[in-house]
Amino acid sequence: MQGFINLFKPTDFTSHDCVAKLRGLLRLKRIGHGGTLDPAATGVLPIALGKATRLLQYLQPDKAYQATIRLGVVTATDDLEGEIISQTPGTNVTLEQVTWTLKQFIGKLSQIPPKYSAIQVQGKRLYDLARRGETIEVPARNVEVYQLEILEWRDGEYPEIDVAISCSAGTYIRAIARDLGTALATGGTLAALIRTQSAGFSLSNSLTFDELTAQLQQGTFSPIAPPAALQHLPLVTLSAPVAQKWCQGQKVAGDEQILINSPVQIYREDDKFLGIGHQEELEKVLSLIPDLVYEPM
């Protein structure tokens, strides 16, 4: 069994919990996921089965979310799972203020990740350091928010705003909630999060554990084939003799229409997916070089 699952991660499951449960359901040891989601978050969790785990690094990196931000509340984890540090009623905050302030979170940002996150600093996870009470400077990361749309506004003592966000990999929505609250001088935290897109997979056709279990019982389950998950990459088709050389690790003639040093899908002329390669120009000669041979000849 190999390929991908567009899994709907339920609340109170870590990404690792999902992998562990799938190993039991599918009776398959080699399973990986394509992007951590916090336990309280739900939504799209790309899952790779069998040797498709080798392709996780080539999936689309961009992601999209629907988030609820609560103003006036500051927590240790930048979401409602953490200890409340302070509460400042935001009754004076208006939708117009929020709309104007959110504009500064669109585009390329230098973002400081939450102290409770899986990022490693000096070889240690930030959440492990935070739980031990160790203070460490968290380095900023360059991320990009492509779109940020307000979906709904609810005023009150602690106003809430629902937003849709599309962004680059590595963007922390908790950090956006925290920094929005700072910019508004009320504090802010993430109240709810749904990942609506990840690695090219969408929430609309994600699969719950119950739906997967039913398909397995009925014998109708079929993983998503690698080519369907790699459609964002350009492809090169090789004749059978040339494909044989490529699968043996040899350089073959390149293609002028393909960018240099960018990953490409490699197919045999009968549409068999062979793997991932990239193109280099060596002494003014274009060569297609294998990076990952997925299906040998």
**DSSP alpha helix (H) spans, 50-163:** 95-102, 126-131
Active site residue: 38, 78, 79, 179, which one? 38
CA distance 180 to 218: 48
Type of residue at 241:
P
Whole-number Å distance between alpha carbons of 13 and 39: 5
* Partners of residue 162 on adjacent β-strands: 68, 152
For residue 87, what are its two tokens?
Answer: 């509460």
The C-alpha atoms of residue 255 and residue 278 are separated, in whole angstroms, by 10
Residue 38 annotated among the catalytic residues of the structure? yes
Kindly report the backbone phi and psi dihedral angles of residue 75, in degrees, each rounded to the nearest multiple of 5, phi listed first. -125, 165
Angle at 70 between CA 131 and CA 81, to 5 degrees: 25
The whole-angstrom separation of Cα 200 and Cα 258 is 21
Determine how many CB atoms are found less than 10 A away from the CB of residue 199: 25
**Contacts for 278 with CB less than 8 Å, ≥ 6 apart:** 260, 261, 262, 263, 264, 288, 289, 291
Q: How far apart are CA 256 and CA 163, in angstroms?
A: 42
Which residues form the catalytic set? 38
